[in-house]
Amino acid sequence: MIQHSFPFDPTCGYGLDSLLAIEPPATCPADFDAFWSATYAEVLARPTELRVEAIWSPDAETALARVEYTSLGGARIGAFISRPRESRGGLVIGHGYGSFAGPVLRAGLTVIVPNIRGFGLSTSAAFPWQASRHVLCGIESRESYILRGAVADLWQAASVLLELYPDTAANLVYSGGSFGGGLGALALPWDRRFRAGCLDVPTFGHHPLRLRFQSNGSGEAVRQYHAAHPEVEAVLAWYDAATAATRMRIPVICSPALFDPTVVPPGQFAIHNALPQAFRQSFILQAGHWTSPDDAPTRQAIAAATEALFLTP
């Protein structure tokens, strides 16, 4: 048992068997698929209006660039791209919540790391940068909710990568953890350009269930908002990563955690369990958003499996 000082139970009272029994929400909006397909079409129809600036690279074998592109709603999004001398595909990386990622060098893959609207290179007066405020931005309706734009930022990042390096189309993959994991589950089912994905301790799974549990992550802000505005559950149904995961049709590595103070485990496992077994490769972590020495072998296995999946089209 993991020792902690949180005023709540980061396991939410679930063991492995009960977590593996969680199913996606019993109902979803009737036009869930139509909404996301239409959003995807809207994003792909928008020109990237791309700007590229080469930056210094610490690796002579890898070129680095800072790029800026236009996404849904006209938002300007910043990203980093790394291009190895020998590239065998393209990788879009989704970062964690309340943070952003710099350039990522990955052997054999051309990598784009978009800073989702509101964070890092994509900071703007239009979007709050604190996770607890960001997750509530525009939550009043399905059209205005910021997660719609966040998913769009990933799709448009893929468009940027393909525009700059058409060779990556043969092996385009995705990797994201936490916030990036949840966004990946929402984004990948509708974008047939991606061949495979990796979702680590993903969030936004099974909102009706995750709203029951306290955490120290962005979900806590949503839980508290929901207590005062229960009608928001109807909007959240459009953004349920577990519902979206049932539509996945590409190989996906998923690694949910049994203990997690930031992203409640029932929500993570709702996404994991919703992924069709024919496309899912599973790795169960003892802890997420928390250091557990017991997870070292599992993390090594995830890294090896991801390498094999991403570099073997």
The pLDDT, as a whole number, for residue 313 is 72
pLDDT above 80 for 1: no
The pLDDT, as a whole number, for residue 35 is 98
The pLDDT, as a whole number, for residue 93 is 98
Residue 162 or residue 291, greater confidence: 162
Contact 109, 88 (CB under 8 A): yes
pLDDT in tens, 29-52: 999 999 999 999 999 999 999 999
- pTM of the full structure: 0.97
Q: What are the sequence ranges of the domains in the chain?
A: 27-310
pLDDT in tens, 84-143: 999 999 999 999 997 777 899 999 999 999 999 999 999 999 999 999 999 999 999 999
CATH domain 27-310 topology: Rossmann fold (3.40.50)
